[in-house]
Chain A
């Protein structure tokens, strides 16, 4: 390992791991149901015990997202979401809470904004980095260069079907954590988290990943607790988005608070 600097996201995950079972990472789309409410909701997540924020950039063709997140991001786009709103939202959230904020984005909006320009503005807004679901490290030279230059973190995904060689690539290329996709499928709350997640987390550690977080299908405190038995963090999205849609900021605060119990027991 040549990387000795601990990134802010990694630091937050490690702190959670020493104080509790591990970290809770919460996803919400920016601009849903509107920009101001999405900022309030992200702040509420952190106040309720979320350690790292994953803020989604709404995109017209989200191939990795299930119906709940699709519907929310389509609503954000219909309400006039613009890519530049990401920086406004990240800045506003970071002014109110300390938790690191990663942006989850499909690649084309970043490409069209300009990879370097996007990286610079995200950095200036206090963002931690990007989670990129539709580019893999072997297709990401421009982003790897921009993140090296700015010090932004880059989270790549790993799947149960990934070869050992590809897991090593994901581990080597990621900074912050590696996102272990728990199951073969798109985002949605599921009754059970696949046994495949446990196996994948172990394989990623063997492949050299020092921080592994598991996402897709996690929707209860018990599942969070279960995942934290073998991974550094648990990522929750669809359940929180649904809670925000149904119950507003207070609804999502309650949902996050409930999930956070899973980080303690």
Chain B
């Protein structure tokens, strides 16, 4: 079997469905609906039409030579998921699941969000399809991503700041599961990344694999060959698996996932789950988890809310153990410097999440040399991060509202 053919529930020793019995029927129902939709050419056509007329797919590939001068002279190409409607790759999965929800006859969407990108995408789909929408967001994140909170509310969603635990993404997921248990008859939990119980890791990946499928063809057309390396940031891992998947069986293409190194791995304040975690169960799946000796989940840290998560999708855990993908940490500062560099050299302001992949590409270019061709998933745009960047680089005038 090829690596691309692997589907859940299990990815090697990882994955599965560690969930309360109360949710098993809904997960089975979702699995069945997804299987039926995969067999139905009408579903694929409907989703493709939405992507063409609403998302803006295919997203383009942009070569960034002035940025690449800082990457050892390697050629660097960006897959521009930042240009999608709502500003990131998250819309790919959201529209796919929302179409499934229509088939299930449910009328309410709930979702967790870290940076707010998935919440905005979900609120957008709810507005588009006339569904109710509640978004759970850690209280810490509602503060650092206030602009996205306003966007979600403008779109008609209720945003619930989660005040329990570390008040970030992991706690928002807990709260979304609790809501789902209580309201499963009318409500779909539109999980935003490639983790959680089966079928989410496989299904969300399948909705995002279009990123890599498009990019692989675009890079071939532009350069006549496959890239030497593909780089993506990894929090839960959805944009990374989306761009990796088409290349899994191209063994000559190296795959690199860049995790949030926060204030450095030695500081303990990071979200580098695949480097510093160990296998365990969190949020319904077996995967690498940042945890203490007792199996209590540790709080992660990242300047980027979207990567601030102590777990990771099980397919990444599997790819790491297989040695098919390599995962490295990028610190907050490395990411912020890369964010500024891309802005100044190419006129493209990336999301802080995606800036981790850019910082990784700068190092990869130096390692691989000037002949190398590096494809980076630019998973989101930086509009939402202007307050953080403004403070970080001292760009705000005194007295400005930030």
Q: A107 CA to B282 CA in the complex, in Å?
A: 9
A82, A162, A170: the one contacting B294 at CB < 8 Å is A82
Which interface class (under 10, 10 to 19, 20 to 34, 35 or more) fits B?
Answer: 35 or more
In the complex, B293 has a CB within 8 A of chain A? yes
Query: What 1/0 flags go to B278-294 for Cβ under 8 Å of A?
Result: 00111110000101011
Please provide the chain A residues from 28 to 84 with a CB less than 8 Å away from any CB of chain B in the complex. Answer: 59-64, 66, 70, 74, 77, 82-83
A61, A74, A156, A163: the one contacting B25 at CB < 8 Å is A163
B294 near A61: Cβ-Cβ < 8 Å:
no
Q: Give the interface of B toward A (CB within 8 A).
A: 16-22, 24-26, 28, 164-165, 170-171, 174, 177-178, 181-185, 280-284, 289, 291, 293-297
Please provide the chain A residues from 141 to 167 with a CB less than 8 Å away from any CB of chain B in the complex. Answer: 156-159, 161-163, 166
User: Can you list 28 residue pairs at the A/B interface with Cβ under 8 Å?
Assistant: A59-B296, A63-B174, A64-B22, A66-B178, A77-B296, A83-B294, A108-B291, A108-B295, A109-B294, A111-B295, A112-B293, A112-B295, A113-B295, A133-B20, A134-B20, A134-B281, A134-B284, A135-B18, A136-B21, A136-B24, A139-B16, A159-B22, A159-B25, A161-B25, A161-B184, A184-B182, A186-B178, A186-B182
Q: A111 CA to B286 CA in the complex, in Å?
A: 10
In the complex, A185 has a CB within 8 A of chain B? yes
Q: Give the interface of A toward B (CB within 8 A).
A: 59-64, 66, 70, 74, 77, 82-83, 107-113, 133-136, 139, 156-159, 161-163, 166, 170, 181, 184-186
B26 near A161: Cβ-Cβ < 8 Å:
yes
A139 near B22: Cβ-Cβ < 8 Å:
no
Besides A64-B181, A134-B18, 14 other CB < 8 A contacts? A59-B296, A60-B296, A62-B174, A64-B22, A107-B281, A108-B280, A109-B296, A112-B280, A134-B19, A134-B281, A139-B16, A157-B20, A159-B21, A186-B181
A181 near B22: Cβ-Cβ < 8 Å:
yes
Q: A59 CA to B170 CA in the complex, in Å?
A: 13
Q: A60 CA to B284 CA in the complex, in Å?
A: 14
Contacts of A139 in B (CB 8 A): 16-18
